[in-house]
Structure 1
Amino acid sequence: MTTPSYLKWLVDTGERQATACGREIEIWELNPQDDAEILSNWARHFRNHYIADADLPFMAGGTGLGHPDYLRTILFPDAKVAPGPSLRSGDFGEIVVADFIEYFLGYWCPRELRYQDRWNRNDSTKGCDVIGFKFANEDNPGPADELFIFESKSGMSASGANRLQDAIDDSVKDRLREGMSLNAIKRRFFDRGEMGDARKVERFQNEADRPFRRINGAAAILDEAVFAETDMAATNGAAHFNQENLRLLVIRGPSLMKLVHTLYERAADEA
């Protein structure tokens, strides 16, 4: 897969903040520019999480809808009717975090099936938000292999909530969701006859017999205004079950909800 060109707009600010429990929060910035080509590439990458372009003519066929209206009314979360807008911002955050761990950190991160298998466009997919896999040696699984599970929370408008704390608290639930989420991903690959990928997921289903390293992450994708009003120093991850391997990430950016809607509209219009 080609690295999404928009990722050049996602940069490490170098800023680090400490939590109440002494952990480090990485602060990254997403600062899109007015570049039509990159925005189009980003919109296509975004759209392909919901449907492959090659599948779009058949799936839209018979509905009486053109591709843009099919995407807007059948696949994409609603732009105005709740919970559509919050689902849009949540999906956006998850996709950005998935791209972060895949292209910046080098994990295999199969995530399109999470959105393509969604029956209700205005209902979030259950389970762990983002799962990444890394193999020290794909031909010989060993304890150096890594399973990275990230919980993502978006904050696009002022609410008074600490979205990074919300992500940490929900990440605690991943201890129970992990097994079901891995089974769901494996099942999706199995149903598609992609047995090689199903086996790669299977490698992480029995830690007792096949040890690996587990890393958990909590991410907050925040509009600049929300970031400015959030007391990051009050964030506490001391209660997390995997606190020794807990990565904390904040991605901030200007006018993010406007960007989210722009991407969805471009993804539909250019289909």
Structure 2
Amino acid sequence: MFFDNSKYFIFDKEIHSSQGDIIKIFKLANELVDENSLDMWASSLKNNYCEERFLNSLISGTGLTRKEYLENVVFPDPLNSQGAATMSGEFGEILMYDYINFVLKYYITRTRYLDKVNRNMPVPGSDVIGYKIDDINSPNNNDQLLVAEVKTSSTQSSQSKVKERIELAIKHSVKDKVRIGESLNAEKRRLLNRSRNNEAKIVERFQNKTDRPFKMHLFAVIVLDEKYYSDKVVLDAINNQQENSKETNILIIHSKELKKFLRELYRRACLC
């Protein structure tokens, strides 16, 4: 149902800030993706937005073809400025979901985009949440909750703009400590509405940190075109956020022709 794209996340290097932060840099090797894998990746992208079992019923009565429905009702509109920004942002978030699911082996619900009302507007709350638990019947302090703030830059950006996006990701990541409760409640509700009760129990395990402690990992993630990446910009941004960066893991994912790649995946997703 979801395409394992882990082999395309290629570790590039680590860089270190002046205060000792370790920043991991990955390359998304999209130039290595063959046609069949592109189609599977696109189908996986679609499944983040719309459950296949409901798709025919949702289309029924609209007068639209499957392609038209996905293109005009489900996915953000790339010809609309807000829609284009949302498409880019959501692609980056879904990419991070894939990374923590297939590379880091966290459980994720894949429900964030299923109940969208306005396709061109982003979903509020924590961007990405992952869960890791040894035994749901015996919670322990080593259970892990990962919460990531993701910023994506797929269009031409100046170094100052990229720096600003990195700083914003770090600032907003720290806010996840406060807003995670609302986001967990939303995840749990979406699962219960789909009778995925056992999975809802996984989310429930992390709703009371005071009485049932666990490890919480905050991430600030930047997804950007490789043309706009530089070590100096990343380090300058982190040095400007020294207090906030102490609490946050920083991850950079750069990719060749990112905008072209994500637009092509959404185009193919309309044909799946």
Q: TM-score, normalised by structure 2?
A: 0.92
**Structure 1 residues 144, 229: closer, same or farther in 2, change over 3 A?**
closer
1:239 aligned counterpart, secondary structure = helix
The residue number in structure 2 matching 1:265 is: 267
- State the Cα deviation string for residues 167-194 of structure 1 (Å, max 9, x = none): 1111121122100000111111122222
The residue number in structure 2 matching 1:195 is: 197
Runs of 4+ in 1 over 3 A off after TM superposition: none
* C-alpha distance in 1 between matches for 2:254 and 2:232: 11
- Structure 2 residue runs of 5 or longer lacking an equivalent are none
Contact 1:128 1:149 in 2 (8 A): yes
Q: Does 1:210 align with 2:212?
A: yes
* C-alpha distance in 2 between matches for 1:20 and 1:154: 25
- State the Cα deviation string for residues 97-148 of structure 1 (Å, max 9, x = none): 111111111111113x211111100110000000011113222001010111
1:140 to 128, 138, 141: 138
1:221 aligned counterpart, secondary structure = strand
Q: Does 1:63 align with 2:62?
A: yes
The residue number in structure 2 matching 1:6 is: 5
State the shift of 1:5 in Å: 4.3
1:164 aligned counterpart, secondary structure = helix
State the shift of 1:16 in Å: 1.1
The residue number in structure 1 matching 2:16 is: 18
* C-alpha distance in 1 between matches for 2:184 and 2:105: 19
State the shift of 1:230 in Å: 6.0
State the shift of 1:21 in Å: 3.1
The residue number in structure 2 matching 1:238 is: 242
* C-alpha distance in 2 between matches for 1:69 and 1:156: 25
Q: Given residue 128 of structure 1, which amino acid in structure 2 is its aligned partner?
A: S
Q: Does 1:101 align with 2:100?
A: yes
Contact 2:150 2:222 in 1 (8 A): yes
* C-alpha distance in 2 between matches for 1:30 and 1:233: 21
State the shift of 1:150 in Å: 0.7
Contact 2:4 2:98 in 1 (8 A): no
1:27 to 25, 28, 50: 25
Q: Given residue 243 of structure 1, which amino acid in structure 2 is its aligned partner?
A: K
* C-alpha distance in 1 between matches for 2:80 and 2:146: 33
Contact 2:131 2:146 in 1 (8 A): yes
* C-alpha distance in 2 between matches for 1:128 and 1:20: 28
* C-alpha distance in 2 between matches for 1:80 and 1:9: 28
* C-alpha distance in 2 between matches for 1:191 and 1:34: 36
The residue number in structure 2 matching 1:53 is: 52
* C-alpha distance in 2 between matches for 1:203 and 1:221: 30
Contact 1:43 1:267 in 2 (8 A): yes
Higher mean Cα deviation, 224-233 or 145-154? 224-233
